Amino acid sequence: KQEVTQIPAALSVPEGENLVLNCSFTDSAIYNLQWFRQDPGKGLTSLLLIQSSQREQTSGRLNASLDKSSGRSTLYIAASQPGDSATYLCAVYNAGGTSYGKLTFGQGTILTVHP
Amino acid sequence: NAGVTQTPKFRVLKTGQSMTLLCAQDMNHEYMYWYRQDPGMGLRLIHYSVGEGTTAKGEVPDGYNVSRLKKQNFLLGLESAAPSQTSVYFCASARLAGVSDTQYFGPGTRLTVL
């Protein structure tokens, strides 16, 4: 059974800092790995999708990497802003076993960027 | 193009009452999913469907039933609500399960069972 773990559970940083969120997964049989953002009381917004054959994806100040063989991904946020404050969720789209065709989510990292 | 919509947005039930949550998507997606989100537990899959007329159990299916009579709709039913079903429920849809596919999420339904 696929398991996804995110570290740290919460992070508080001053505005302008560069930061890294970590995600690890136990089963490398995945189609892709995705990072989502969730604002309080809202739904999920997809930030980046890395296909299983890719190493990284970039969107603006966000960069996500994937090392499928070691079961790790990182989300790098450059020059953080208060508007980046949210919960960040990592999820893998499973390609095999009993989890085929399903997303498995980590528990999320709660990010607070203070002015 | 509304994407994924959920009805209702909020609901309060008494223990033992029943209700149905409706999810609708206008993207002609094959796959649809129901999740629940609880503090400290992340999102957990309740039931899912890989096409019209199909349903399958997810990680936490007990106490819930689903139906996918039309491709664009996925209904989640609670036959006899329990306080343990207090949660935020999210519906999602996806074109297929492939390397470039992602799931699109609805805004959620906040359910309280007293």
Does B101 contact chain A (CB < 8 Å)?
A: yes
Residue B98: pLDDT band (50, 70, 90) is confident
Nearest to A48 by CA among A69, A30, A66, A24: A66
How large is the average pLDDT for residues B87-104? 87
Facing residue for B50 by CB, picked from A32, A101, A103:
A101
| In contact, A112 and A19? CB cutoff 8 Å | no
User: Would an 8 Å CB–CB cutoff place B108 in contact with chain A?
Assistant: yes
B39 reaches A (C-beta below 8 A) = no
Look at residues A84, A77, A88, A75 and name the one whose alpha carbon lies nearest to residue A114: A84
Per-residue HEC secondary structure of A44-67 comes to EEEEEEEECCCCEEEECCEEEEEE
Is it the case that residue B1 has pLDDT exceeding 80?
no
Instruction: Decide if B89 touches A, using CB distance below 8 A.
Output: no
- Averaged pLDDT for residues B76-99: 92
Q: Helices (DSSP H) in chain B: which residue ranges?
A: none
pLDDT at B36 over 80: yes
CB nearest B102 (choices: A34, A53, A95): A34
pLDDT at A51: 92
The predicted pLDDT at position A95 comes to 85
Contact at CB, A44 and B107, closer than 8 angstroms:
no
pLDDT in tens, A7-43: 999 999 999 999 999 999 999 999 899 999 999 888 8
Q: Is the peptide bond before A8 cis (omega within 30 degrees of 0)?
A: yes
- Chain A neighbors of B90, CB-CB under 8 A: 43-44
- Which pLDDT value is given to residue B100? 76
> CA distances (Å), B109 to each of A88, B34, B57, in order?
20, 11, 20
Q: Residue A8 has what pLDDT?
A: 94
C-beta separation of B101 from B14 below 8 A = no
Chain A residues in contact with B92 by the CB 8 A cut-off are 103
Whether residues A31 and B97 touch (CB distance < 8 A) is answered with yes
List, for residues A66-111, the tens digit of each pLDDT value: 999 999 999 999 999 999 999 999 999 888 777 777 889 999 999 9
A72-77 and A62-67 beta bridge pairing: antiparallel
Q: Which amino acid is at A41?
A: G
Q: How many helices (H) and strands (E) does chain B have?
A: 0, 11
